[in-house]
Structure 1
């Protein structure tokens, strides 16, 4: 993977900048007046990772017009990081320290409401933009006038930022981010239901983002990124989603993140039922089936943990649930329907017998799958 080697080279240079306490040199002449972008970063108690995310924004040959940061942290460490950057760059940095934690969805909506540029890029505080991300997205914007959403491939990295080549390849293949899908998508909705749109690093019209907005965790569970992408597709004009077959962002497998948590109930059953009931064109039905099949196992478990027994059983015995009904993991979920506490005890016993089972099967399916 050629891009990985280029990123590694850059990271060595980045370490040198960090040792000297300075940013890579920036040149405002590289900015394009008619292509102004706001990078929106919600953050919460990750100052070191926020630092890396911000450095990735400033290493762009084409700089953003502004960077907006909404801080849900309990302390002022992230504020100190932001202040250090503000003294070294001529990019406009806007920072808000929320007096009380407002949650990811509300934080993102706050940033949308306060962004001034025509286009937005969302970046999680533990992820990074690739070195040429803005330039890649700008060139796609030039090539496809009238399009409203642009996105590319993601690197998967481990906790400290090392690229995982095999998982990266399977990840992008699984979500239809390969060469044959490059360009304008046949259907915005099929692209979104296929989760071709990554969870961050995509370029979106500000007006469309404001019209769509993120729904709260109480409305749709913690899978707010997938829900936002699907509703963007419904709100956008036809044939306005563009996939670029280049690496744009890095997605860190952070054990502290919502997606990697094995204890948090993400309430994917809420998202499952929303997609199940959504009225869509017949041409998008296959994409809906694929989406429901991807999250059915996790949705069944989340419903069971939430005490929604009928919903959990209905999902397990639906055509979308692809786990073998006689498997140990289906047994585990059925036990969770009866009692989540009993289910967890059985799971603990199974992992004592075979440590390889320690990570829940549906987590592996949802995150990596088999690349097909």
Structure 2
């Protein structure tokens, strides 16, 4: 018998010590989403001290916010899994505690339900919170900048092939989501997440929940869809991964990171530099997912090593030994690495050109306060749902 869910949508927000962004995000959701559909917000809190949040919830007094607290410090993957177990929605979306939700999301989920679509991805917006500090600013990268994709004339739901997208991502070193199915900033039918758990005993097998779900869904889902609409907005605040990236400080020693599951540190891929950096996070998690589901597909590590040399040259002394180890004694492997290195150099040139000549496919709104993000979205994206 199919389970009867109380809500059409559950929005899960795992959080830890970031109330300065979490509370405004909660305000933006409950103050802007329609009451025509049942939805819930699951706040899974692992903060050291939750008094500020408890006071907020008491004042807000909104039954749609369901709050769960665990004082014992746990890895982010475990906190995310707890959030899922506390949901009662037919569809789920996973966002961060500095991200935003489009006011039209419930209407879009209703369309998914009517069309029996089990997973949806889309073109999200991006917002740099006022607290973000950039090591080097440009037209796009400034605090309080909001990026939105171009407004479509009508909604288009495009069917995607998960195996094709998985192979394409693996061939590029799995350093980005690309067009993989997603749960983080993607909408997924709850039953699809339960399929993952039924196969491996848990929802998340790897280090980083966002790319873990993308890879796991691509391996296990039959089909999914893309829509040309910003259903949510990636946020980057001072103490988030995006904020660390802005300062060029998104790296660390694997053995000194408390948010990793212990078994991850003990089973780190020996061909991936033992550094937690912007480039290694996703490939390492990808290798864990492939192993967890016993999938015989290869990750292009030459692409990863080349990207690290080009985009993270300050880590070069730690990378070279992995390049030699991966290439071995086969001269052909060094040729393949050289080709990948040239491709990354060309990619950097193209990326720099787009930044310098303002060619990215987004509209940039400057000096947007976090309280104005949804207002700007509403004013520039008339509802077409």
Whether TM-score is above 0.5 comes out as yes
Q: Is the contact between residue 189 and residue 230 of structure 1 (CA under 8 Å) also seen in structure 2?
A: no
**In the alignment, structure 1 residue 244 sits paired with structure 2 residue 232:** no
- Distance in 1 between the 2:48 and 2:226 partners? 38
Give the Å deviation of 1:296.
5.2
Matches for 1:21-60 after TM superposition, within 5 Å: 36-58=8-30, 59-60=32-33
Give the Å deviation of 1:109.
0.5
* 1:68 aligns with one of 30, 34, 42: 42
Q: Is the contact between residue 12 and residue 43 of structure 2 (CA under 8 Å) also seen in structure 1?
A: yes
Once the two structures are superposed, residues 87-123 of structure 1 have per-residue CA deviations (whole angstroms, 9 ceiling, x without a partner) of: 1x342x3212212221221111011112122221112
Q: After superposing the two structures, state which structure 1 stretch, 270-279 or 68-77, moved more.
A: 270-279
Give the Å deviation of 1:249.
0.7
- Distance in 2 between the 1:49 and 1:201 partners? 17
**In the alignment, structure 1 residue 204 sits paired with structure 2 residue 188:** yes
2:377 maps to what in 1?
Answer: none
Q: Is the contact between residue 91 and residue 188 of structure 2 (CA under 8 Å) also seen in structure 1?
A: yes
Matches for 1:291-310 after TM superposition, within 5 Å: 293=303, 297-298=307-308, 310=321
Query: Taking CA–CA contacts closer than 8 Å with sequence separation of 6 or more, which of the two structures ends up with the larger relative contact order?
Result: 2
1:153 maps to what in 2?
Answer: 123
Q: Is the contact between residue 6 and residue 89 of structure 2 (CA under 8 Å) also seen in structure 1?
A: no
Q: TM-score, normalised by structure 2?
A: 0.59
**In the alignment, structure 1 residue 253 sits paired with structure 2 residue 236:** yes
Matches for 1:271-286 after TM superposition, within 5 Å: 271=285, 273=287, 279=296
The verdict on how the C-alpha distance between 1:292 and 1:259 changes in structure 2, with shifts beyond 3 A counting, is farther
Q: After superposing the two structures, state which structure 1 stretch, 266-275 or 111-120, moved more.
A: 266-275
The verdict on how the C-alpha distance between 1:299 and 1:126 changes in structure 2, with shifts beyond 3 A counting, is farther
Give the Å deviation of 1:152.
2.1
Matches for 1:215-364 after TM superposition, within 5 Å: 215-217=205-207, 222=208, 224-236=209-221, 238-239=222-223, 241-261=224-244, 262-263=248-249, 264=251, 265-266=276-277, 267-268=280-281, 269-271=283-285, 273=287, 279=296, 293=303, 297-298=307-308, 310-313=321-324, 314=326, 317=334, 318-319=336-337, 322-324=340-342
1:106 maps to what in 2?
Answer: 78
Q: Is the contact between residue 137 and residue 150 of structure 1 (CA under 8 Å) also seen in structure 2?
A: no
Q: Kindly indicate which of the two structures has a greater share of residues assigned to helix.
A: 1
Total equivalences in the alignment: 279
The verdict on how the C-alpha distance between 1:84 and 1:216 changes in structure 2, with shifts beyond 3 A counting, is farther
Q: Is the contact between residue 57 and residue 63 of structure 1 (CA under 8 Å) also seen in structure 2?
A: no
Q: Is the contact between residue 12 and residue 83 of structure 2 (CA under 8 Å) also seen in structure 1?
A: yes
2:364 maps to what in 1?
Answer: none
Once the two structures are superposed, residues 243-267 of structure 1 have per-residue CA deviations (whole angstroms, 9 ceiling, x without a partner) of: 1111111111324212442332244
- Distance in 2 between the 1:54 and 1:251 partners? 15
- Distance in 1 between the 2:242 and 2:309 partners? 14
Q: Is the contact between residue 159 and residue 254 of structure 1 (CA under 8 Å) also seen in structure 2?
A: yes
* 1:164 aligns with one of 139, 146, 151: 146
- Distance in 1 between the 2:220 and 2:192 partners? 7
Give the secondary-structure state (helix, strand or coil) at the position aligned to 1:96.
Answer: strand
Q: TM-score, normalised by structure 1?
A: 0.60
Once the two structures are superposed, residues 193-232 of structure 1 have per-residue CA deviations (whole angstroms, 9 ceiling, x without a partner) of: 4522467332111122233212342xxxx4x312211211
Unaligned runs of 5+ in 1: 1-32, 328-360
Q: Is the contact between residue 7 and residue 38 of structure 2 (CA under 8 Å) also seen in structure 1?
A: no
